[in-house]
Amino acid sequence: MWPRSIISSSAFRQAARPSALRAPRIFFQPAQLRLLSEQTRKGIEKAVASAPVVLFMKGTPETPQCGFSRASVQVLGLQGVDPAKFAAFNVLEDPELRSGIKEFSDWPTIPQLYVDKEFIGGCDILVSMHQNGDLAKLLEEKKVLVQGDGGKQE
């Protein structure tokens, strides 16, 4: 129905008027492009490189501040991630980190997991990988599990 791919403001106002014949309303949100400062980018790169397993979360592993962060910490614990090879960063302590990590990874939600400097995903991806066994394989391959029998019984 729209004559152009970009709707002029007058065309949008006209389309927004109540009318029995009006097409369904379509709302366009402008892109939320925020240029990540070099200082923040370097800080995030340093954080990602600080340990083989890095979790950006709300709260701390001891006191998570959201259910998704709590679930992510629990999954990593169930997998047997070595605490000496794990670092967590509380995004609630730093608004620049909280917004910057989303742009850095191009992922809209927190928590975010990195393994060996590679972005893995958020809680939903982490739980799915845990359930299908891919997370166990990845963590074993990266040698980030607690040494010993790894919970395996013979």
CA 27 vs CA 3, 4, 12, 16, 127: distances in Å = 16, 15, 9, 10, 33
28 and 20 Cβ atoms separated by less than 8 Å? no
| The pLDDT value given to residue 14 | 46
List the domain boundaries for the chain: 52-141
pLDDT in tens, 99-119: 999 999 999 999 999 999 999
Provide, rounded to the nearest whole percent, the portion of the chain with pLDDT above 70: 73
pTM above 0.85, yes or no: no
Burial class for 105, CB neighbours closer than 10 Å (0-12, 13-18, 19+): buried
**Better-predicted residue by pLDDT, 4 or 31:** 31
Average pLDDT score, the chain:
82
What's the mean pLDDT in 136-148? 93
| The pLDDT value given to residue 35 | 73
Q: In terms of Cα–Cα distance, which of 49, 79, 55 is closest to 140?
A: 79
pLDDT grade for 87, boundaries at 50, 70 and 90: very high
Q: Which fold has domain 52-141?
A: Glutaredoxin (3.40.30)
pLDDT grade for 36, boundaries at 50, 70 and 90: confident
